[in-house]
Amino acid sequence: MQTVKIEVVVGKESHELASGITNLIDEIRKTLADGYSPGEDIPAVLMAAVQHLIPAVQGLENIPDEIEENKVAFIKTMALMGGDLYDVLTKTYEKPVAKV
């Protein structure tokens, strides 16, 4: 299949929220690729949440204004997020090699 690269205009705050959510899910899946180990995984998941979600929600109150100003840009943001989420949810993560 051939593809083309295009430029898309999206809302800043809605894009940051969508990216933050997608990146958090990606980090959690990577962390849990070798199974769940509470002692190791909880701190890693919390750090991922701080790293990705806190910046993403800082402009949350501006999203309704973005929607009102440009609904099409908001819809494009959510469509792109859907594609990114699909990639993250269907990606296969390598299990880390056990250290001996």
Please report, for the chain, the start and end positions of each structural domain, with discontinuous segments joined by +.
12-90
pLDDT in tens, 43-91: 999 999 999 999 889 989 999 999 999 999 999 999 999 999 999 999 9
Query: Measured between alpha carbons, how far is 91 from 5 in angstroms, rounded to an integer?
Result: 22
What residue type is assigned to position 88 of the chain? V
**CB of 31 closer than 8 Å to CB of 52:** no
- Spatial separation of the C-alpha atoms in residues 15 and 17, rounded to whole Å: 5
Tokens of 67: 């929607």
Rounded to whole angstroms, how far apart are CA atoms 26 and 85? 9
The whole-model pTM stands at 0.81
